[in-house]
Chain A
Amino acid sequence: MAVPDLLRLLDTIPAYQSRVTHIETTGPVPAHYGNLDPLLSPALDGYLVQQGIHLYSHQCDAINAARAGKNVILTTPTASGKTLAFNIPVFDMLEFDPLARALYLYPTKALANDQLIPIGQMSRFCGIPARAAIYDGDTPQSKRAMIREKSRVILSNPHEIHHILCWHTKWRSFLSNLRYIVIDEAHRYRGVFGSHIAFVIRRLVRLCRHYGSEPQFILSTATLANPEEFACRLTGQGFISIDEDGSPHGRKHFVLYNPFSGGISEKSAHQETKDLLVSCVKEDLQTLCFTGSRKMAELVTLWAREDARLSSARLADSISVYRAGFLPEERRTIEQQLRDGSIKGVVSTNALELGIDIGSLDAVIISGYPGTMMSTWQQAGRAGRKGGDALAILVAQGNPLDQYFMQHPDRFFSRSHEHAIIDPENPYILSGHLLCAAAELPLNEETDRQYFGSMMEEHLHDLQSNDLLRKTSRGWIYSGRGRAAEAVRLDGIPGETFRILCHGKLLETMDRGQAYREAHTGAIMLHQGETYIVNEMDLETHTIRVTETSADYYTQPLRDVDLEILEALETKEFNGMKCAFGDVEVTEHFTGYKIKRHDTIIGIEPLSLPPLTFRTRAFWIVPPPQVEQSVNAASCDLAGGLHGAEHAIIALMPLHVMCDRWDVGGLSSSSFGNTGEPVIFVYDAYEGGIGLAEKAYEILPRLFTSAYELVRDCPCEDGCPSCIHSPKCGNDNQPLDKEATAHILKNLCCEPEKSGPAAILPVSESASS
């Protein structure tokens, strides 16, 4: 019960006191139980009674809805019993229909492995045969046929499904009796990857229907702003969202801690994280600390142990790092030591937020906003034991988004603003999956439009003219030579993937745009917090070779962006400000890169890369002449203001639209195109677009308001890395004018939106959905 002691410490030590910008205390919240209607069978009821389970209200709501034939998406927090909420309706079906089958999809093999055991136990206890089995890349050939024929519950992952769909004749008995598709951790399927998965699921449903089944969906996700929309885009079907959590919670204290509260941080945010960790451990709180990189996890651990050693060697030994590279037995040792109390503090990277099996602790320290609200709450959710108080501390970094939260705690603690994006309209992803679908069963323009949308026919003709499809009396058939599912990789856009090799080993893959920006020859590249230098970029073979480095400098590409509007799909106006959304062609010229140590330029190197041209979607805003006049009248710089506004808007995109600020690009000009109007563009940095600018266009007033608040409330004079400076700016943050920026943004948000969709320009069917 030392959480109150630590809170007292934060309140009394001056160094801490000045940095605590907010403490949000919630709970305790008692459990809300619910009722099932209709009642469960004796077998399932007996299982709950024997396990001593009393179902919470959200579990009952989910079970009732699923049993009534509805698709359900559950967005309650981790550890609220979501697994049971989908296992019960599945087992209910298995018991009722002896032929019924169910498919569980997990984002990783490890998660599927974890879930196999409880499903097996439930099956044995209830006496409802499930013969649950995992079917993935590791499943031996010899067992596959048996699993397809006999297993009633199959656990797999979307990658595997993508590859097995063309073997559907072998899956006939499974597909024709498939009643439930359970998708756990569905929020992982967003962005480019999610858009691919959306088509894998559509292809699966198409084949189920071919074999006469109509499976129901149960999805679980972390908290999102748009669960119904997300579920619908992922699966193409309607959903009921269940988000009222009925599980009990103890008292929780969430501390927002800003090392930059005085403007400039005296110590680094990592040092402060270390101080907080040592304080927690000294107060006997079992603490989990998340850092942005592996290297930081190591350093924070090292520093914390040195500090703690001043008190006692035993205390120092109770702090440990938890690495991705650990062997299973090393992990189990740490997990065991946490349970028996010999370890008090564990430092881990964000990447392990799900993989770590150590139950709940007293306190969680998050060093730097992990990028999404969703991850933040998942990490913070690790704190909280039965009965005790729980503590979570977010230590802010200097970047605009972290600082925005520190200035606006209400935004942080209010309902999620994050929209998870899936774009079933990206032409490259769509046409790739048309190939896969055609290889599975001939495509029919009429009946298959429901899966692939109104653009399908045009793509069919395009693919035909490239010899990949042929029209026959039975529909469009695949006529390509390579296996379609092998050509279509689920993590990217075709032909655009670069492989990054370190000593011949694959480190990661990047699309062309990202590779040009971050992995050109000579670039200092970060991968999972480690530093690498790019030795070679081979444009022919799409291969990039890197080696580890301990360089203390970093690089920044110099880039000129040209942008051409191809077609405005929608326009609207508010405050006399014209806003539009549409197709654009972006050309990025990478002319060179700067080598910088801290903020000092120590060199400039030229680059000879071919220009990068891609067609994507953007929204853009044209400030009216009055704004330009008033900016000039205040003797501010219009170009600097537009540029600053572009940066602020992009910095806060991730607050509303789940993405990384690197997923979007921008361009501002005080005199654009033939009309010479001032304009700000924000575009998706992916060929074809992935729905980010499209979603942002729907919520522009909210986006502009937060961007304005960011700039207005930043204590700096002339703009700083916490507001309008961008770490990815291709023009080295020149020119920038903070006053003009604030003025422009204020004009963008001071009045509510007043007009509807465009009257002048054709509105596409898709863009309004």
Chain B
Amino acid sequence: MTATHHTPRAGLLWQQCVQGMREYEVIRDGNVFCTNFSSSFVFSSEYEEARRYLASLLTQYEGMSFNSVFDGTEVENDGGTCVVQKSRHALAHHDVANLRFRDEITQDLSLVHGIGPVTQQKLKQRGYVTISDLCQHPRYRADAEEVLSCLSDGNTCEIMHLIGRRHSQSHHSILGTTGMHEPEDFVFFDIETLGLFSRPIILFGIASLENGHLSVDQYLLRDVEEEQAALLATVEHLSGDHPALVTFNGKSFDLPYLADRLAYYGRGSPGVIPHYDMLHFSRRRWKGEFPSLRLTALEKEILGISRSKDVPGQMVPEFYAAYQRSGNCGPLVPILEHNRQDVVSLALLFFHLVGESYGCT
């Protein structure tokens, strides 16, 4: 009773306080120098444009209901109800091939413990071409047999681990293990959140191949209370027959974030599945070639895609908060589109890189 006089002001004060917060810096256009110091930034022209865009969306969608703007279907599970938006996208190349990878990996003697590049070269000169040949070598026999058995019987994760232990995590042979999967196994995953950590995920984008098309499922929260249902639906996608996860920066962001939100609701983590983080492979492939290795930059440079109207990723929380405050779902339109383009570009980039190294042609 005693706080009745205070409470309305307390909540309002905290709301004002939270509204004023921002997790990125606005940097003067062209000040590339600064971009090295700030992990999260938006150029001021981008920022101004996005603010104008937000205002125009609020006018354009004034008074329109969620259902009239989005044609999603409701999904119900143990965590409650949420809405999924489905879309299909054409995909030109989507081959992953096993053969070339198999050849390459069995000839990589340095996968055996104790063999570095120099030793490998010497061994090759002396006629040890494949790991199988090493099974005759008095010193490396035991280790070589272990590697061979992993390569023949191990699952993708075990083989990735084997390669990653001897090479870097972004070694192209690791990308080669994709050959152990059918194209339909890959789950392309990207989330949009209300902040950098410990806040709700507001959109889960998941894509996979269906009959030669890329099928995209997006769980967009009508309200934050739908997060749990969307989390469970997402986990469902990751626990298929033989799934493999593909993300862009997902190893340090999307997946830990997902695990943390599941733990927040007292739910267990999804099982361990192979995870290809395309940021790492892109860095290895294109480092120094382009000024930025953000997904939006790569899709422009490599895939020739340029987005016309977009919300900068860092400003997604602001756009969603505008929807929360006003109930006007205009700001959600570019968020959904941004995420859809992210997952589609991710899939294209993935097949591009895999094809480049291990394509059939």
- B-binding residues in A (CB < 8 A): 166-167, 169, 425, 427-428, 430-432, 435, 439-442, 455, 458-459, 462-463, 465-468, 470-474, 477-484, 486-487, 494-495, 566-567, 569, 583, 585, 615, 688, 762, 764, 766-767
Contacts and interface: CB of A to CB of B under 8 A. Distances in A.
6 contacts: A427-B3, A435-B18, A458-B7, A495-B13, A567-B5, A762-B1
B32 interface: no
A481 B325 contact: no
A557 to B, nearest CB: 25
B260 A169 contact: yes
B324 A428 contact: no
Contacts of A477: 200, 224-225, 227, 264
A470 B224 contact: yes
A480 B2 contact: no
- Of A166, A470, A479, A566, the most chain B CB neighbours within 10 A belong to A479
Given A477-B200, A483-B199, A487-B17, A462 B7 contact: yes
Contacts of A458: 3-4, 7
Contacts of A466: 11-12, 14-15
A495 B17 contact: yes
B18 A482 contact: yes
Contacts of A474: 228, 265-266
A532 B225 CA distance: 51
Given A441-B264, A442-B264, A480-B199, A495 B2 contact: no
B154 interface: no
Contacts of B5: 566-567, 583, 585, 615
B317 to A, nearest CB: 5
Top 7 A-B pairs, shortest CB-CB distance: A482-B21, A427-B6, A479-B224, A166-B198, A462-B11, A466-B15, A466-B11
Contact of B265 (A425, A442, A566, A766): A442
Given A167-B197, A427-B3, A487 B264 contact: no
Contacts of B325: 467
B40 interface: no
B200 A487 contact: no
A166 B199 CA distance: 10
Contact of B18 (A167, A441, A455, A480): A480
Contacts of A688: 6, 10
B187 to A, nearest CB: 23
A429 B263 CA distance: 27
A431 B6 CA distance: 10
A484 B5 CA distance: 23
A487 B14 contact: yes
A494 B7 contact: no
A440 B22 CA distance: 20
Contacts of A481: 18-19, 21, 194-195, 199, 317-318, 320-321
Nearest to B21: A482
Interface in B12-55: 12-23
Contacts of B228: 472-474
Secondary structure call for the A interface: mixed
Contacts of A762: 1
Contacts of A566: 5
Contact of A494 (B13, B23, B224, B225): B13
A431 B2 contact: no
Nearest to A428: B10
A458 B13 CA distance: 16
Interface in B284-326: 317-318, 320-321, 324-325
Contacts of B72: none
A452 to B, nearest CB: 12
Contacts of A472: 80, 225, 227-228
- Of B14, B23, B263, the most chain A CB neighbours within 10 A belong to B14
A473 B79 contact: yes
B191 to A, nearest CB: 15
B9 interface: yes
Given A459-B7, A479-B224, A766 B14 contact: no
Interface in B191-233: 194-200, 223-225, 227-228
- Of B15, B200, B266, B324, the most chain A CB neighbours within 10 A belong to B15
Contact of A427 (B7, B21, B22): B7
Nearest to A467: B324
A553 to B, nearest CB: 37
A301 to B, nearest CB: 44
A478 B195 CA distance: 12
Given A428-B13, A481-B19, A483-B196, 16 more contacts: A167-B197, A428-B6, A458-B4, A458-B7, A459-B11, A462-B11, A466-B15, A472-B80, A473-B228, A474-B228, A481-B21, A481-B320, A482-B18, A483-B21, A567-B2, A762-B1
A766 B1 CA distance: 10
A487 B17 CA distance: 6
Contacts of B15: 466-468, 480
Contacts of B271: none
B259 interface: yes
Contacts of B260: 169
Given A425-B2, A569-B2, A583-B2, A439 B199 contact: yes
Given A431-B10, A441-B264, A462-B11, A425 B3 contact: yes
A403 to B, nearest CB: 37
A483 B14 contact: no
Contact of B200 (A427, A432, A459, A479): A479
B240 interface: no
A169 B263 contact: yes
B267 to A, nearest CB: 9
A462 B197 CA distance: 24
Nearest to A496: B13
B127 interface: no
B117 interface: no
Given A462-B7, A462-B8, A473-B228, A479 B324 contact: yes
B40 to A, nearest CB: 13
B265 to A, nearest CB: 5
B2 A766 contact: yes
B224 A459 contact: no
A762 B4 CA distance: 14
A62 to B, nearest CB: 37
Contacts of B225: 470-472, 477, 479
Interface string B250-269: 00000000011001111000
A163 to B, nearest CB: 10
A666 to B, nearest CB: 21
Contacts of B22: 482
Nearest to B196: A483
